[in-house]
Amino acid sequence: MHLAAWRAEPGHHEAALASDGVWVLLLTSGKTAAPELMQDFFPHFKLDELLQASDAHGRKALDVATPGCKAVLASKLYLGGRYELALDQIVHQSATCKVIYALDHSERDEEKEPEGARGLHVAIKFMRNEGQWLQEQSTRRGDAERGLVALGEEFVIGVLRAHNAKEDEQFRKDLEARKLQDYPFVMVMPRADRSLADVLKHEHLAPSPDEVHWAEVRVITQHVVKALVHLHGREIIHGDLKPLNIMRMEKRYLLIDLDAATQFGLPAGAKSSAAFCPPEMVHVDEATGNACIKTPQLLKKPFATIGSARNAAKVIASSYTPIEASPAIDLWGLGVVLFQLCTGRALFDGFSDDTLDNNGLRALASWSDAQAKVRTSEIRNRAARHLVRSLLARDPNDRMPLDRVLAHPFVTDEPILGRLPGEEPFYDAFIGYRVATDQGNVEQLFAALTRLGYRVFWVRCACALFSFRTHLTDAPRCRINCA
């Protein structure tokens, strides 16, 4: 039937397409009118049903369609004519964004996808805020005006492309059809295997402090620290380091979610997760006792309502100074992440979106080095315990810098000789003597000190001095005798 005759007799549409063979014949037709004719079908038929049609060999309609017909189908079926969304698989949802897995039918990874694969697996981030959308892109890709150098994709998951529905009318309509119109700013990224949060949840990396896979924790630590070194080398902090923002891709752990990234010296906290924020970023309102994260936005209001509906509170926001972005913010976040990796437990119990209620914020604000010592005592690995404790220091200036983290015995997996920096000595005194005539004096000194409660390490002859490090875990009052 000619196109004009078809349009003149719409009653024939249903009868003619009742046969799969007729529909597939149209899809595979090389005639230039076929795509135009298809446009007339869609008001009369359900697209999903038409796509189930197959030819005599069992091939689906979309697989056998000509490029022109396939483009028409894609424009009706996929977001932007290319992205097949798995709307039942929302990977992440927060007040500011949604992340949904998809197949990009305009791309195919020849190396990873088998022959005949229908698209490239991607993760699409739908965002509410245009400023965060722009910042995340410029941080990754670089921005000459801001003095930013592009980030390496061996450390940070890159952006394949971006879409702005406010500047693309058809894309806006596609979002509305999928009830995503509240998230008009879109970024498309390679799909990772899973987040570190999912690794902790499903792979039993640390089911308890006594059951930790230390080799894997060490690998994760190495990857994350190197990624932070890469960011900090460009004078940028991540600003929201947490398991949900660390992704595993082909056995390597990379960073994502850079809309909180901030250049050194600028106000930090525009976007953050309270459960992973350092103590210095918490403001406690003396008048009300309510607490909030020090964000630049709150300073624009004399009073600000903070927290979710379940924990709404007002603070006098104008009474604090925002925290400047510095490596210390990420060092604290790293410490909180490693604490969870080493114990299987969160340092602060927050809500599902990693926010804290008022009590949690006040507890964070009052954090002390004594608390760090108590909490990290749960970590069974001595080197890991020392590293995490060094990162969770109350004073930002006392947190172990990244170059020392990379050289730390836990990260390098080198044996520990003697006492680690900052560790309290087990013994109060070390005594020995060079000649035998001093033995009596040393015996009296040893007895006097131990009566006073001191822990004394006594080497009874000079020949044993070289091996004293191997005995640092002996009884509080210790003697080493010569053979």
Q: Using one digit for the tens of pLDDT, what is the confidence trace for 438-475?
A: 788 888 888 898 898 888 887 766 544 444 444 444 44
405 in a domain, yes or no? yes
Better-scored residue on pLDDT, 97 or 147? 97
Same domain? 66 vs 123: no
Helices and strands of the chain, counted as H and E runs: 18, 17
For residues 44 and 160, membership in a common domain is answered with: no
DSSP assignment, residue 298? G
Give me the sign of the Cα torsion angle 271, 275, 278, 279: positive
Is 261 in the same domain as 340? yes
Residue at 422 is within a domain: no
Mean pLDDT value across residues 338-345: 96
pLDDT tens digit string along 231-243? 999 999 999 999 9
In this structure, are 266 and 406 located in the same domain? yes
pLDDT: which is higher, 466 or 148: 148
pLDDT at site 295: 85
Domain end residue (candidates: 141, 156, 191): 191
Mean pLDDT of the chain: 81
Residue 124 is assigned to a structural domain of this protein = yes
Q: What share of the chain is helix, strand, coil (3-state, %, to 5)?
A: 40, 15, 40
Same domain for 53 and 161, yes or no, is no
Same-domain check for residues 340 and 232: yes
Q: Which one has a higher pLDDT value, 8 or 325? A: 325
CATH of the domain at 278: 1.10.510.10
Place of tokens 């060094």: 390
Do 244 and 354 touch, CB atoms closer than 8 A? yes
Residue 62 lies in a domain: yes
Residue 477 has pLDDT above 70, yes or no: no
| pLDDT > 70? residue 272 | yes
The DSSP annotation for 213-278 comes to -HHHHHHHHHHHHHHHHHHHTTTEE-S--SGGGEEEETTEEEE---TT-EETTSBP-SS--GGGS-
Q: Which tokens go with 386?
A: 């020392």
Inside any domain, residue 419: no
* Confidence band, pLDDT 50/70/90 cuts, at residue 119: confident
Mark whether 276 and 378 lie in a shared domain: yes
User: Is the domain of 72 the same as that of 87?
Assistant: no
Are both 392 and 343 inside the same structural domain? yes
Please list the residues that pair with 162 across neighbouring strands: 187
Q: Which of 77, 105, 135 corresponds to the end of one domain?
A: 77
| CATH number for 107 | 3.30.200
Residues 263 and 382 occupy one common structural domain: yes
Domain boundary among 127, 158, 191: 191
pLDDT of 18 > 60? The answer is no
The residue assigned the tokens 């044993």 is 464
Instruction: Indicate if 361 and 388 belong to the same structural domain.
Output: yes
Which pLDDT score is estimated for 443? 86
**pLDDT band, residue 478 (cuts 50/70/90):** low
- Element containing residue 304 per DSSP (H, E): strand 304-306
- The count of other CB atoms within 10 Å of the CB of residue 259 is 23
Please indicate, yes or no, if residue 67 is contained in any of the structural domains. Answer: yes
Is residue 424 domain-resident?
Answer: no
> Is residue 318's pLDDT more than 80?
no
Domains: count for the chain:
4
Position 295 in a domain = yes
Cβ–Cβ under 8 Å, residues 127 and 260: no
Higher pLDDT residue, 5 or 370?
A: 370
pLDDT band at 315 (very low <50, low <70, confident <90, very high): low
Q: Give the domain range for residue 474.
A: 429-480
Q: Residues 45-55: what's their mean pLDDT?
A: 62
